[in-house]
Structure 1
Amino acid sequence: MAAASGKSVLFVCLGNICRSPIAEAVFRHMATDPAQCVYVLQWLIDSGATSDWNTGSFPDARGLSCLRRHDIETDHRARQVTKEDFMTFDYILCMDESNLRDLKRKANTVKNSKAKIELLGSYDPEQQLIINDPYYGSEQDFETVYEQCIRCCKTFLERNS
């Protein structure tokens, strides 16, 4: 659903099953819950992958468990970033420098790209620029991703509302 404010954000990681669905769910919760944010706005919010490895898959069970512990639900299914995304979204926020390189390379092939491509971590008040992939890690690594996403999404929302 397009936002009345015309604001849109796409969160991106390698497989769209760990970091980016967590960021999407956290941001959606913040941007649409009046108890969480004084800037209650309608946003177009989604997430995607630079790869096509997990297309159609649900987020990693450890990520879903982490979100549920914080009373956040998601029904997201993994998808690959498309050329249309660069024309649809105002912001494409990714998790690491590899994602950033891949997205910028793909954006260069899109004639009418309007998306501002940045690291989500560039909004972290604790200056942790990279959000590391927790896939091969522990439950605590997913919690760390969640905490980084909370900080970054809060700052991003405050700056763009």
Structure 2
Amino acid sequence: MISVLFVCLGNICRSPMAEAVFRHYVEKEGLSGRIRIDSAGTGDWHIGEPPHHGTRKKLDEVGISHAGLRARQVKPSDFDEFTYIIGMDDSNVANLKKLAGSRDVTVHRFVDFIPGTRYTEVPDPWYTGNFDETYELVSKGCRHLLETIKENHGLK
């Protein structure tokens, strides 16, 4: 099974939004049984909490479920269990590479799945307050990520 882990700092804004949006797209394509999706944070401040109210509000506005999402921290076994590990910004990517240690694992930058973007990372709405901007980037990136996975793994 193909598996995708989205990672941000606290796992309450960007990465759970990406998890929910990507899950929505995967379900619409009928691929739920073939792609496992999760999210995590590099920090431990919000473990067990639901997504930030701004993330929940935006997902509600666009009709995407966030039911059951709870923050968790990246754990060592994630590097062995996930096909795609995707950091939402450069700091997350650097922290993930550090946590991976000597494991031979590729950590992707989320923005690399957004063709032609001027963004170098997904801005953190915890600080910017702009959940619309984050959603626009996440939705574009998730669509392209799904197309990439379908091509790379022969999924239809």
Normalising by the residue count of structure 1, what TM-score does the alignment of the two structures yield? 0.86
Whether 1:118 aligns to 2:108 is yes
Which residue is 1:106 aligned to? 99
Which residue is 2:128 aligned to? 137
Greater CA drift, 123-132 or 96-105:
123-132
Deviation at 1:32, TM superposition (A): 0.9
Deviation at 1:43, TM superposition (A): 1.0
Name segments (4+ residues, structure 1) moved above 3 Å.
none
* One-letter amino acid matched to 1:44: R
Q: Structure 1, residues 102-125: CA drift from partner, whole Å, max 9, x if none?
A: 00011115xxx4643111111112
Segments of structure 1 that go 5 or more residues without pairing to the other structure are 1-5, 35-39
Which residue is 1:29 aligned to? 24
Segments of structure 2 that go 5 or more residues without pairing to the other structure are 151-156
Aligned CA RMSD, in angstroms, stands at 1.2
Equivalences, count: 146
Compare the two structures and name the one with the higher helix fraction: 2
Whether 1:153 aligns to 2:142 is yes
Q: Structure 1, residues 45-91: CA drift from partner, whole Å, max 9, x if none?
A: 00000000110111100110000000011121000000010000001
Report the Cα distance in structure 1 between the residues aligned to 2:64 and 2:54, rounded to whole angstroms. 13
Normalising by the residue count of structure 2, what TM-score does the alignment of the two structures yield? 0.89
Identity among equivalent pairs (%) = 40
Deviation at 1:137, TM superposition (A): 2.8
Q: Is the 8 A contact 1:124 1:152 kept in 2?
A: yes
Give the secondary-structure state (helix, strand or coil) at the position aligned to 1:47: strand
